[in-house]
Amino acid sequence: MSQNRTRWDLRLEQLERHLRGGEFEAVRNALMAPDISRVPRGSCARLANLARRAQRPSLSLKLLQPIVRPKVKGIVVADREELLEYAYALQKVGAKTESFHILETLAPDYDKAHLALAFHHIFEWDYARALGHLEQLLGSPRITPYEAVVADVNRLACLVALKDERAETLFTDLERRIPIAGSSLLHGNILEIMAQQRLEARRVGEARVLLARAQQLMPEADDIYRMLMEKWSVIADAIESGRPDRIHEFRGRALTLQHWETLRDLDFALARLDPSSRWADWVYYGTPFSGFRRRLEDSRIFSETAWVSRHASPSEKWDPWFAPGGGGGGELMHRFVVLLLRDFYRPARIGEIFSHLFPDQYFDIEVSPNRIHQIASRARAWLEENQVPARLEEVSGSYCLRGEESLAILARKAQIRYTKVEFLFERYREGRPVAMSSREWADVLGFSCEKVKRLLREANSAGLVTVERKGPYSRYILKPAV
């Protein structure tokens, strides 16, 4: 057994060196070895860590689910490292709610959980909360030098996003420490982060120097990394010239490589060049993160709802919140379709869809994806049957809706949970400040009075409505969106 562990340790150490050098494809190929699932229990969390960092989170979940969520309770007990890696993998597939619950449980007694919690908040564009977790981790006496560098790289990103003057000092410190850690990837990352800061300050020449240094560090980088570097150069060109031409050209490359966050960054740059443009509406309403939206709210006011389109003169309009024919709606397929419009850029990952539609259930890598694929199959037929002007597409295992370029969509600013009751009432929040009886709500929703009374009780329990009682009658009013 010890010889087997030694053999695996050597394999994992080699994979770690490849990852730190940015050789992702070499790691992914190694993870396809036939014996990879026979990793010893003692090396399982470490292998799951490598798989997750190499963008193979499904393998991480398959390795760890029998340990973290055993079919028979009490047979296997997961340790802290296994729980942490399982939570990281859940983050990667989009099951962020379940991941967050695991991490919150771990954090009081396990410092390493703070880095994962920081990633959770960074993904949500909540850099202030992420910074708090990173600083708590860095205060731990048990953190390794490499873990401290990783935490500080992410702290640098938070400080830059928050326009904190401490970023410059930390950048200088990381320039000294990262070569010792032996990670050209991390070194390239901090140069890219500081290039973004220089672009934000319109110091374009300095940004170009930083980007050139990052490209020199990673001459063998994959297409995605090279595109990231070039993206900032294209945005620098647009800032200098005040013209969006190169950004529009570059969008095609990002779309081909399916790099959705690059598309979002490009459209944000277009919005900054012209805050009144349709691109500003598209990126604002098509991004579900309030931290991102606040960056645009400084330049103009955005209404609670808006018709948004990629086309200057859309010829067709669609309000996705209402089922074809009006009224009713809120079925699982309908909520699935609207959920896909939560983000106009990144296709919804399987874990993300599952977490929104089934918030009280654990994600199961063996079962949950098939449930979502079945819902998607029914939703595709539902869209075609009702002649909805959008088509459902599967992109690398994730799902998105695509409409014709000339289609305008009614988008909403409010972000909701996709339970049936919240979905039904959210559609009517705007423009209904008056209290209505259950019978009046039944007329609006198109359901029987008994069904609506049950839905109103659920809405009241969920904090969606307030109840006004006058004599023997109750009237219900929707609370303002948070």
Higher pLDDT, 232 or 414: 232
Question: For residues 12 and 43, is the Cβ–Cβ distance under 8 A?
Answer: yes
Q: Which amino acid is at 397?
A: G
Distance, CA of 435 to chain centre:
36
Q: Quick check: helix, strand or coil at residue 315?
A: coil
pLDDT of 225 > 80? The answer is: no
Residue 414 CA to residue 482 CA, distance in Å, equals 7
Q: Which residues pair with 469 in a beta bridge?
A: 474
CB atoms within 10 A of CB 39: 19
Residue 14 CA to residue 10 CA, distance in Å, equals 6
Looking at the chain, the whole-number percentage of residues with pLDDT higher than 70 is 93
pLDDT of 1 > 50? The answer is: no
CA neighbor of 263 nearest in space, from 205, 344, 189: 344
Please name the helix (run of DSSP H) or strand (run of DSSP E) that holds residue 466, with its range, or none. strand 465-470
In tens, the pLDDT along 227-275 reads: 888 899 999 999 999 888 889 989 988 888 888 999 999 999 999 999 9
Higher pLDDT, 423 or 274: 274
In tens, the pLDDT along 301-324 reads: 999 889 999 888 888 999 888 766
Q: Which residues pair with 410 in a beta bridge?
A: 307
Longest CA–CA span in the chain (Å) reads 80
CA neighbor of 236 nearest in space, from 213, 265, 205, 262: 205
CB atoms within 10 A of CB 49: 20
Residue 144 CA to residue 111 CA, distance in Å, equals 11
Name which of 34-38, 168-172, 431-435, 439-443 the model is least confident about: 431-435
Please name the helix (run of DSSP H) or strand (run of DSSP E) that holds residue 443, with its range, or none. helix 438-445
**Full-model pTM:** 0.84
Q: Quick check: helix, strand or coil at residue 478?
A: strand
Give the strand pairing for 473-478 and 465-470. antiparallel
Residue 294 CA to residue 467 CA, distance in Å, equals 33
Q: Is the dihedral of CA 48, 49, 50, 55 positive or negative?
A: positive
Amino acid 49: pLDDT? 95
Amino acid 130: pLDDT? 97
Secondary structure (DSSP) of 156-211:
HHHHHHTT-THHHHHHHHHHHHHHHHT-HHHHHHHHHHHHHHHHHTT-HHHHHHHH
Supply the mean pLDDT for the chain: 88
pLDDT of 179 > 60? The answer is: yes
Residue 101 CA to residue 88 CA, distance in Å, equals 12
In tens, the pLDDT along 451-477 reads: 888 888 888 887 788 888 866 678 888
Q: Quick check: helix, strand or coil at residue 409?
A: strand
Instruction: State the pLDDT confidence band at 62, using cuts at 50, 70 and 90.
Output: very high
Give the strand pairing for 316-318 and 390-395. unpaired
Amino acid 122: pLDDT? 95
Q: Which residues contact 159 (CB under 8 A, 6 or more apart)?
A: 131, 166, 167, 170
Instruction: State the pLDDT confidence band at 79, using cuts at 50, 70 and 90.
Output: very high
Question: For residues 148 and 138, is the Cβ–Cβ distance under 8 A?
Answer: yes
List the end-to-end C-alpha distance of the chain, in Å, as a whole number.
56
Higher pLDDT, 3 or 356: 356
Q: Which residues contact 471 (CB under 8 A, 6 or more apart)?
A: none
**Domains, in order of start, for the chain:** 317-412 (1.10.10.10), 420-478 (1.10.10.10)
Q: Which residues pair with 306 in a beta bridge?
A: 411
Distance, CA of 107 to chain centre:
22
pLDDT of 431 > 60? The answer is: no
